[in-house]
């Protein structure tokens, strides 16, 4: 588990409430971003790599209902953290 930042446009905070139950995480705080019109949510994410610093949620909207497609993570230097893929052992 890691606590990561999720930057959300203030106009989309209500939409985020619709996908919150679909995330395997918990909001533990929020504060204004240095970027005007953006709020930073501090999220404890159960599936986040331990060295993750920020996250991005990829959402699809079908029939007016948002659905989480993927979650991407970056480290403190802004480098994308590739998902770990288990390889079958012979």
Please, where are the H alpha helices in 1-90?
A: 13-19
Q: Is 90 part of any domain?
A: no
Q: Is residue 86 in a domain?
A: no
Q: Each residue of 63-80: pLDDT tens digit?
A: 888 889 999 999 999 999
DSSP state of 89: P
- 73 closest CA partner among 65, 63, 83: 83
- Is residue 6 in some structural domain? yes
Residue 72 within a domain: yes
In a domain, 89, yes or no: no
Does a structural domain hold residue 88? no
Task: Confirm whether 18 is domain-assigned.
Answer: yes
pLDDT, mean of residues 5-25 = 91
Q: How far is CA 56 from the centre of its chain?
A: 4
pLDDT at 86: 65
| pTM of structure | 0.85
Number of domains present in the structure of the chain: 1
Q: Which residue range forms the structural domain that includes residue 39? A: 2-80
Within a domain: residue 26?
Answer: yes
């Amino acid at each position: 588990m890691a606590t990561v930042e999720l930057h959300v446009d203030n106009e989309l905070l209500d939409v985020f409430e619709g996908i919150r139950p679909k995330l395997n995480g918990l909001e533990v705080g929020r504060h204004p971003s240095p970027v005007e019109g953006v709020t930073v949510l501090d999220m404890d994410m159960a599936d986040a790599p331990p060295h993750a610093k920020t996250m991005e949620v990829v959402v699809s909207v079908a029939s007016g209902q948002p659905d989480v497609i993927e979650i991407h993570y970056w480290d403190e230097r802004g480098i994308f953290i590739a998902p770990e893929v288990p390889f079958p052992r012979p």
